[in-house]
Structure 1
Amino acid sequence: MRHHDLVVLGAGSGNAVIDDRFAHLDVAVVDQGPFGGTCLNRGCIPSKMLAHTADVADGVREAGRFDVDATLAGLRWSDARDRVFGRLDRQAADGEQGRRESDFVTVHRGRARFTGERTLVVEGPRGEVRLEADQVVVAVGSRPVVPPIVRDSGLPYETSDTVMRLGTPPPHLVVLGGGYIAAELAHVFHAAGSRITIVEKHGTLLAPQDESVSRAYTRIARSRFDVRTGVEPTGLEGEPGRLRLLLDDGSVVEADTLLVAVGRTPNSDTIDAGRAGIALREDGRIVVDAHQRTTAPGVFALGDVCTPFPLKHVANREARVVAHNLQHPGDPTATSHDAVPAAVFTRPQIAQVGRTEQECREQGLDCTTAVRRYADVAYGWALEDTTGFCKVIADRGTRRLLGAHILGPQAATVIQPAVVAMSLGIDVPTLARVPYWIHPAPTEVLANALLDLDL
């Protein structure tokens, strides 16, 4: 049995734990590969690179709104795909090679599972390797959920893990699910020339968003796609290239390709966590405390396998906390999940931080809201925007923001002042009136919404 001072399971954000501060230790990284995890290889980075490509294509299609005569000859899908993954595949390979060339890191390729307290077996291409460690970091991520109706049909389907590497855009893509992954990939393939049908069980798309955003995005999506809401699949029939998705309202969607985007599940079930004394929540997430410690001594966890916010920037923050706490067990730091922002890179973009209005109602909070449209500010005129808006929610007593929700151009950037204010405890009057806000700029939609709050 090979002994290591530290074993890290997962070469995504888990790999970010290790830096030169650990050079005095014998460290191992275990992953089936490729290095970089979901974000680099099949998640947020390639999807955003392709989403920007889609934005460029849609910008050409819509150029006439700005009195520009332009014709889109086409989106060269295979070239775009090769540009994106050619770069990212090199990044993954370079990341692994860098670790293999390290003086203090050993790379074990394969799937790891616990056999006891801080003992593991790695099943790899060259057989089994048995490891023991003084400390372990579990960062094995998550994977797409595939409903049994699809999984057991014997028919082909795609997930976010696979669909972005398709050789050609499907003529007709049916997307099962209405969350952020479904929205982003529908945008990408629609721009690439696919006809899109979205099937979602909730009454609106992006249902967890603020109700104003969810309703507005659903209206926009209906103008571009065939959107079926409030329905669920009851069966999948047909043959490869000629699929028939049966819905519980009696209708049938026929398409050549099915993308399953109904959510993700933690990979905790792949590591025999119970043998290590690692407790799990009902939804499969590993139980961790504020310091990212699991219920097993000497074992930490981070990222999608444990976090309530399965986002790359959250996993990176948790990785920094774990790195500190491994180095300074007597002076641990805690992870804060306050004011976690998120964005959806559709067209238009969507961004959020904090509570939704419906959550504030359910919690009985004494709050006030304000909405400003992009069309109300000068840069919105420049953008010829007719659908975008910013909604802010504040507590009447403390005069602090409870939430901010933006649908519109550059939303993921425009929301950042609200994130800073909520993170640092800056109240609304201070945020709205003390700093200068550039005029004209998209951020004025946030500034003006703050000024409109009844505080």
Structure 2
Amino acid sequence: MRQYDLVVIGAGSGNAVIDDSFAGLDVAVVEERWFGGTCLNAGCIPSKMFAYTANVARTVGESGTYDVDAELTAVRWRAARDRVFGRLDAEREEGRRGRLEADSITVYEGRARFTGPRELRIDLADGAVDISARQIVVAAGGRPLVPPPVADSALPYETSDTVMRIDAPPRRLAVLGGGYVAAELAEVFAAAGSSVTIVEKEDRLLGQQDESVAERFTELARSRYDLRLGRELTAVDGRPGALRLSLDDGSTVEADMLLVAVGRVPNSDRLNLDAAGIATHDDGRIVVDGHQRTTVDGVFALGDICTPVPLKHVANREARVVAHNLRHPDDLISADHDLVPAAVFARPQIASIGATQQDCRERGLDPLVGEARYADIAYGWATEDTTGFCKVLAERGTGRLLGAHVMGPQASALIQPLVLAMTLGIDAVTLARSPYWIHPAPTELVEKALLDLGL
């Protein structure tokens, strides 16, 4: 059995663990599918490249709002797809080659599963190999969840892993799910010409967002898509290219293609963790402590397979923590998950950090609420935005920021001053009144929301 100093399972964010400081160690990387992980190949990056393309298409289509005569003749889907994945597939192969050619790094392209606390069997295309290691990092990620009515139908469906690589947008697309993946991809395909129906079991889209955001986004989505809210899928039948979705209220949805976007599950069930004694939560996430250590000595985990916040920037932070802790066992550091910002690149764009209004209510808090609309600032006049807003929640008396939510153009950038303030402990009054806020710029939206707290 070949023994290594370090084995990393998963070459997404797990690949970021290994830097020059590990030179001289005998290291192995095991990757079953994609170097670069979900983010590079089927997640964050391609979806945002498509989302930007969709935004350009929508801008052309709405140019009359700005007294510009322009006509959208087509979104050249196949050309856009080839542009996106031509770049990203090349990036993946470059990363793969870099590891294959690296000194003291062995690459296994196959599936790893534990046979002991720090022992693995790797199933390769031409057989299997058994290895062991002094230290192991589990960064095997997750995959789209497919509910039984879809899986049992034996009919074709797409997920975020596959749908961006199709040859052409369908005429009728049914989207199962109402979270951020569903919201982003629904807009991508609607802008490309698909008629979109969204089936969501909750009464609002983006239900994890602040209630003001979820309500307003749902209202806007209702004007663009056929929304079937508060409904659950009971069966899928028909034939490929002519699907019929049956819902629990007796209604049906006809579609040429089904996109399943109801969430993701960690890949822990594929690793034979019991053989290693690695504990998991009820939802399948690997149990880790504050230093990313599992319940087995010498085994760490990071990213979607263990984190409570399955976002790429969180996985990258955890990778830095693991890299440090592998090298410095007597000086451990940890990843803080308390204040993690997030964005939804739909139309309109959404960004958030911290508590929602419903969170505060559940905790028995009565926060101050400040709100400003894009329509109230000069930049909003320029963009003719009548629906976007910024909402901030602050503790009474102290002005400590509890949460912030932005919906509208450039939301993912506008949230950042609030992210910095909450992370660094800057109160609302100091943030609003100490720095200059450029006029007329989109950031005035944040300033006005802070001032609206009345502190």
> 1:108-162 CA distances to partner (integer Å, 9 max, x unpaired)?
0000000001100000112101110000000000100000110011110000000
CA distance in 1 between counterparts of 2:131 and 2:433 reads: 58
**Contact (CA 8 Å) 1:338, 1:423: kept in 2 or not?**
no
Q: Distance in 1 between matches of 2:257 and 2:28?
A: 40
Alignment of 1:284 with 2:299, yes or no, is no
Give, in whole Å, the separation in 1 of the partners of 2:256 and 2:190.
15
CA contact (8 A) 1:46 1:85 kept: yes
Aligned to 1:218: 218
* Code of the aligned partner of 2:168: T
* Residue deviations 1:33-56 (CA, integer Å, cap 9, x gap): 320000000001000000000000
8 Å contact from structure 1 (residues 199, 231) kept in 2: yes
Aligned-pair CA distance for 1:275 = 1.2
Superposed counterparts of 1:81-92, under 5 Å: 81-92=81-92
How do 1:157-168 residues align onto structure 2 when only pairs under 5 Å count? Answer: 157-168=157-168
Alignment deviations for residues 242-291 of structure 1 (CA, whole Å, 9 cap, x no partner): 10000011100001100000000011111011211111001110111110
Partner of 1:176: 176
Provide the residue aligned with 2:255 in structure 1. Answer: 255
SS at match of 1:422: helix
Whole-angstrom CA distance in 2 between matches of 1:36 and 1:383: 37
TM-score of the two chains, using structure 2 as the length reference? 0.99
* Partner AA of 1:199 in structure 2: V
Q: What do you get for the CA RMSD once the two structures are aligned? A: 0.7
Displacement of 1:452: 1.0
Asked whether the 8 Å contact 2:374–2:386 carries over to 1, the reply is yes
1:335 equivalent to 2:335? Answer: yes
Report the Cα distance in structure 2 between the residues aligned to 1:440 and 1:127, rounded to whole angstroms.
64
User: Cα distance, 1:398 vs. partner?
Assistant: 2.9
CA distance in 1, matches of 2:397, 2:264: 38
Q: Which amino acid aligns with 1:365?
A: L
Partners of 1:307 and 1:161 lie apart in 2 by: 20
How far apart in 2 are the matches of 1:89 and 1:370? Answer: 44
CA distance in structure 2 between the partners assigned to 1:326 and 1:441 by the alignment: 45
Match of 2:10 in 1: 10
Secondary structure of the structure 2 residue equivalent to 1:348: coil
Maintained 8 Å contact 2:244/2:252: yes
Q: Residues of 2 paired with 1:454 and 1:2: CA distance?
A: 66
Paired residue type of 1:387: T
User: What does residue 420 of structure 1 align with?
Assistant: 420
Shift of 1:351: 0.4
Give secondary structure in 1 for the equivalent of 2:326: helix
> Does the residue aligned with 1:290 lie in a helix, a strand or coil?
coil
1:43-58 equivalent positions in 2, closer than 5 A: 43-58=43-58
Asked if structure 2 preserves the Cα contact closer than 8 Å seen for 1:34 and 1:93, the reply is: no
Contact persistence 2:12–2:34 (CA under 8 A): no
Which residue matches 1:345?
Answer: 345
What does 1:103-142 align with in structure 2 at a 5 Å threshold? 103-142=103-142
1:234 is paired with a residue whose SS is: strand
Letter in 1 for 2:328: H
Aligned to 2:192: 192
Asked whether the 8 Å contact 2:114–2:276 carries over to 1, the reply is yes
Whole-angstrom CA distance in 2 between matches of 1:439 and 1:405:
21
- Quick one: which amino acid aligns to residue 142 of structure 1? G
Structure 1 runs, 4 residues or longer, greater than 4 Å off: none
Range 434-443 or range 212-221, more displaced: 434-443
Letter in 2 for 1:322: V
TM-score, normalised to structure 1's length? 0.99
Q: What is the distance in 2 between the residues matched to 1:379 and 1:18?
A: 44
Report SS of the residue matched to 2:174. Answer: strand
Which whole-Å deviations, capped at 9, do the CAs of 1:333-358 have from their partners, x for residues lacking one?
Answer: 11111210000000110000000000
The aligned counterpart of 1:398 is: 398
Q: CA deviation at 1:198?
A: 0.2
Q: Which residue of 2 aligns with 1:360?
A: 360
Cα deviation for residue 454 of structure 1 reads 3.1
- Aligned-pair CA distance for 1:396: 1.1
Q: Give distance in 1, aligned partners of 2:366 and 2:54.
A: 41
Is the 8 Å Cα contact of residues 350 and 411 (structure 1) preserved in structure 2? yes
Structure 2: how far apart are the matches of 1:250 and 1:15?
48
Aligned-pair CA distance for 1:447: 0.9
In 1: Cα distance, 2:273 partner to 2:365 partner: 39
Gaps of 5+ in 2: none
Native 8 Å contact 1:366 1:397 kept in 2: no
Report how far residue 435 of structure 1 moved.
1.1
In the alignment, structure 1 residue 41 sits paired with structure 2 residue 41 = yes
The letter of the residue matching 2:130 is: R
Counterpart AA for 1:258: L
In the alignment, which residue of structure 2 is the partner of 1:311? 311
For 2:187, give the aligned amino acid: H
Secondary structure class of the residue paired with 1:438: coil
- Could you tell me whether the CA contact under 8 Å between 2:279 and 2:286 is conserved in 1? yes
What is the deviation of 1:304?
0.3
Identity of aligned residues (%): 67
SS in 1 for 2:259: strand
Aligned letter for 1:33? Answer: R
Instruction: Provide the rounded CA distance (Å) in 2 between the counterparts of 1:413 and 1:397.
Output: 28
SS in 2 for 1:450: helix
Q: C-alpha separation between the residues in 2 aligned to 1:116 and 1:307?
A: 23
Distance in 2, Cα, partners of 1:317 & 1:104: 25
For these two proteins, the number of residue pairs brought into alignment is: 455
CA distance in 1, matches of 2:49, 2:123: 34
d(CA) in 1 for partners of 2:436, 2:289: 40
Which segments of 5 or more consecutive residues in structure 1 lack a partner in the other structure?
none
- The secondary structure found in structure 1 opposite 2:290 is coil
- In structure 2, C-alpha distance between the alignment counterparts of 1:283 and 1:361, rounded to whole Å: 26
Offset, 1:309: 0.5
Equivalent in the alignment of 2:377: 377
Q: Quote how far apart the aligned CAs of 1:397 are.
A: 3.7
SS of the residue corresponding to residue 332 of structure 1 reads coil
Distance (Å, rounded) in 2 between the aligned partners of 1:454 and 1:306: 41
Q: What SS class does the counterpart of residue 113 from structure 1 fall into? A: strand
Counterpart secondary structure, 1:185: helix
1:366 Cα deviation from its structure 2 partner: 3.4
* Residue pair 1:302, 1:318 contacting (<8 A) in 2 also: yes
Report the Cα offset of residue 436 of structure 1.
1.1
